[in-house]
């Protein structure tokens, strides 16, 4: 396993990540709102941008909180500032998953966080894979991240880069699907052909987390989610082992 | 006494349903938690949490909800409150009326009010 950054570095990275995500969502506000106006209620961009800006502000000058408390604070702020289903789905899931970070941010705890986040999103929203939701971007991302860390023993940065690439495939996968959750589901077949806004914002958030992680961690960011992580591994060898 | 909270995307709808439920008589605390807290359409976990606290006299609260984020925000509000609150899997209007009637029963519990609210799923219109 890979070493752990000290407390101050973790806290700086969390604050930087919240700021980077807020900036990105602000920049993508209209794009996300356009996606949402096709199949939702056209508020996804503005809601998320407002919420993450408030979350970034809430942690920016916080000198007291532990890394875990900072992540929880981001979740709690999102709950109170993001309207609609995104408050409980993004904020509630971050708040709940922050319980996994009691020992700070490491490769190991970040896998636990990712899994807890995905579970909470699925549980809260009642969405399964293929329902044209953020679960379609999160599931391949979390599975790729876990496998890259726990099986392939890749550096967390490389693992997260692969996870982000996997999320992009998930976003593309939402386009031809019929929505089964949220307001989009009321549109029935008319939802086919539109990219899901929640999957898209999830991928944007991951891109920003990756960019911040790149400033703090060693590893590769230019990776393909579909490339074999152990190049000389063949199916036969896997069977034998 | 068991408290009732009505959660709708529209504050007017939530208040209107409370108004109708009050017509069933009884003194049960009934609180509306509608809208996004910013005079818009939506639901808000903090607002719902405040309504649950206001409706709770210590015996618990049954929450009636409309759609989608109302359910999620009500769940989240319940996780963050101390009160014994449960969401009724029931149509919001019919469920609220049934619940208001049961809440007048001196022996009512959260479970019994929840059960009566959920009986409203069976109502047919023709």
User: Tell me, what's the pLDDT at B109?
Assistant: 97
**Mean pLDDT in residue range B109-123:** 97
CB A104 within 8 A of CB A113: no
Cross-chain residue pair B76–A79, CB shorter than 8 Å: yes
Which of A128, A74, A73, A68 has its CA nearest to residue A102? A68
**Does the beta carbon of A83 lie under 8 angstroms from any beta carbon of chain B?**
yes
Q: With a cut of 90, say whether residue B94 has pLDDT above it.
A: yes
Q: Which residues are CB-neighbours of A37 under 8 A, at least 6 positions away?
A: none
Residue pLDDT, tens place only, B40-81: 888 999 999 999 999 999 999 999 999 989 999 999 999 989
User: Tell me, what's the pLDDT at A13?
Assistant: 96
Best mutation target, A50, A83, A126, to test chain B (most B CBs within 10 A): A83
For chain A positions 118-157, those within 8 Å of chain B (CB to CB) are 124-125
In chain B, residues with a C-beta closer than 8 Å to the C-beta of A83 are 36-38, 40, 42-44, 69
User: Tell me, what's the pLDDT at A241?
Assistant: 46
User: Tell me, what's the pLDDT at B65?
Assistant: 98
**Mean pLDDT in residue range B2-17:** 97
Cross-chain residue pair A88–B38, CB shorter than 8 Å: no
Please indicate whether residue B9 is annotated as part of the active site: yes
**Does the beta carbon of B43 lie under 8 angstroms from any beta carbon of chain A?**
yes
| ipTM exceeding cut-off 0.90 for this assembly | no
**Does the beta carbon of B73 lie under 8 angstroms from any beta carbon of chain A?**
yes
**Does the beta carbon of A76 lie under 8 angstroms from any beta carbon of chain B?**
no
Residue pLDDT, tens place only, A44-68: 888 899 999 999 999 999 999 999 9
Cross-chain residue pair A182–B68, CB shorter than 8 Å: yes
Residue in B37, B38, B68 nearest the CB of A85: B68
CB B69 within 8 A of CB A88: yes
pLDDT band at B98 (very low <50, low <70, confident <90, very high): very high
For chains A and B, count residue pairs whose Cβ atoms are closer than 8 Å: 44
For chain A positions 176-215, those within 8 Å of chain B (CB to CB) are 182-183
Per DSSP, the residues of B52-91 read: HHHH-SSS-EEEEE-STHHHHHHHHHHHT-SS-EEE--S-
Residue spans of chain A under pLDDT 70: 1-3, 227-241
User: Tell me, what's the pLDDT at A239?
Assistant: 55
User: Tell me, what's the pLDDT at A236?
Assistant: 60
Q: Are strands B30-34 and B3-8 parallel, antiparallel or unpaired?
A: parallel
Structure tokens at B72: 């999620």
Place of tokens 């900072």: A70
pLDDT band at B125 (very low <50, low <70, confident <90, very high): very high
């Amino acid at each position: 396993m890979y070493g752990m950054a000290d407390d101050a570095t973790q806290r700086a990275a969390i604050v930087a990540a919240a700021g980077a995500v807020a900036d990105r969502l602000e920049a993508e506000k209209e794009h996300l709102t356009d996606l949402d106006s096709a199949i939702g209620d056209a508020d996804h961009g503005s809601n998320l941008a407002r919420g993450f800006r408030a979350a970034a502000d809430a942690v920016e000058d916080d000198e007291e909180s532990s890394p875990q408390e900072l992540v929880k604070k981001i979740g709690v702020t999102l709950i109170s500032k993001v309207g609609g289903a995104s408050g409980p789905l993004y904020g509630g899931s971050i708040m709940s998953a922050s319980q996994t970070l009691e020992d700070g941010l490491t490769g190991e705890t970040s896998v636990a966080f990712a899994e807890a986040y995905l579970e909470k999103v699925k549980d809260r929203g009642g969405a399964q894979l293929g329902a044209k939701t953020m679960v379609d971007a999160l599931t391949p991302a979390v599975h790729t991240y876990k496998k890259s860390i726990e099986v392939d023993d890749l550096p967390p940065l490389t693992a997260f880069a692969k996870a982000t690439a996997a999320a992009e495939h998930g976003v593309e996968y939402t386009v031809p699907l019929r929505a089964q959750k949220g307001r989009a589901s009321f549109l029935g077949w008319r939802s086919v052909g539109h990219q899901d806004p929640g999957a898209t914002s999830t991928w944007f958030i991951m891109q920003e987390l990756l960019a911040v992680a790149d400033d703090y961690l060693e590893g590769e960011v230019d990776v393909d989610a579909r490339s074999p992580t152990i190049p000389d591994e063949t199916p036969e060898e896997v069977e034998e082992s | 006494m068991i408290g009732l909270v009505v959660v709708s995307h529209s504050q007017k709808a939530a208040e209107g349903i409370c108004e109708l439920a009050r017509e069933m008589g009884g003194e049960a605390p009934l609180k509306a938690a509608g809208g996004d807290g910013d005079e818009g359409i939506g639901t808000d976990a903090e607002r719902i949490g405040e309504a649950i606290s206001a409706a709770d006299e210590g015996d618990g609260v049954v929450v009636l909800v409309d759609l989608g984020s109302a359910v999620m925000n009500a769940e989240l509000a319940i996780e963050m409150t101390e009160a014994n609150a449960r969401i009724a899997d029931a149509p919001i209007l019919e469920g609220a009326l049934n619940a208001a009637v049961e809440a007048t029963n001196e022996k009512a519990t959260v479970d019994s009010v929840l059960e009566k609210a959920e009986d409203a799923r069976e109502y047919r219109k023709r």
